[in-house]
Amino acid sequence: MEHSLFFGVKDNHAMDQLAFSYCGISQTEAGHAYGPSLNSAWVFHVVLRGQGKVSTEDFTYKLGAGDGFLVRPQSSTRYSSSASDPWGYLWFGVQGDLVGKYLNVIGMRSEQTVFTVKNVYPFLSILSRCLKYTSGSISDELELNALSLSFLSSFARELSTTEHEPIATAHNELVREAVHVIIHEWRPGITAAWVANRVNVDRSHLSRVFHRDTGMTIKAYIEHIRLSRAHDLLGMTEMSVADVAQECGYASVEALTRNFHESQGFSPSEFRKANTGVLNNLGVGIDFLSAAFSLPPSH
């Protein structure tokens, strides 16, 4: 379980160049896990306090306050909070071809997921400013796109040269191939049997190896990807909840709503409201966040 404050937009006119998608801040409970997730945006996460782990298709890293990780478009990422010192973090999502180009110039290698920043406060400050532009007007959209550039500017300025050593290495080749198939050959009716057929192995054998390496069944992994796709479609398009349910392979709106609420803590309809305002189950307002995370107040 996590307590979050979230805001996002859809149909940004600059989404093919450099556009704001969403931002938020969360305080997780002990052991809370998220993912695997699959996004259409570049999503930066900056840890404000506590500890946790992030796993990609290749490595697992342990992170703490001042560290962060980048979820790239169409990449599989899973992360979890420490059982003894659960983390709080902010996230900021941007879309567009210019994002990758800027990251290359900044010095983020194409294979790099984790990073460290010198100061987390500039990122929290930008997030709080985003929450002033939630009307959905074109002027607010332009302000949010400008703040996305400010976020990348702060990232370039605050990025540290600290290197992170993984605490665990990649899954075996069979599991990596199965994950690749799930992500890149996604379809609404995808099943464990279909994945096993695509990688040309016995389903029972693949299921055993997959669970051993990931700690998840193939069915559970597919469900997480299905939910993250629903999250994207609900937040970034005008598709009805019924159409999103069908597109993501749910038998009914009720099935999507039940699974979405269990995963996110709110219903698809409640999540949609964040596109015309701020969705907040964090329990505090943005003005309280600086104190909550022991950061200097804004001026």
What pLDDT, in 10s, does the model give residues 131-174?
888 888 999 999 999 999 999 999 999 999 888 887 777 667 88
Tokens 């703040």 belong to: 147
Query: pLDDT digit string (tens) for 189-206?
Result: 889 999 999 999 999 999
Inter-helix orientation angle 218-236/173-184, to 10°: 30
**Residue ranges of the chain with pLDDT lower than 70?**
1, 170-171, 273-299
Domains of the chain (ranges; CATH) run 2-167 (2.60.120.280), 173-273 (1.10.10.60)
From the list 84, 98, 37, 90, the residue with the least C-alpha distance to 68 is 90
pLDDT at 159: 94
User: Rounded to two decimals, what is the model's pTM?
Assistant: 0.79
CA distance linking residue 48 with residue 36, whole number of Å:
22
Residues 6+ apart with CB under 8 A from 274: 6, 7, 8, 22, 235
The DSSP H or E segment spanning 266 is none
Distances (CA, A) of 38 to 185, 223, 243: 13, 11, 19
pLDDT at 299: 40
Average of per-residue pLDDT values in the chain: 85
Distances (CA, A) of 58 to 115, 121, 134, 185, 209: 16, 30, 37, 19, 16
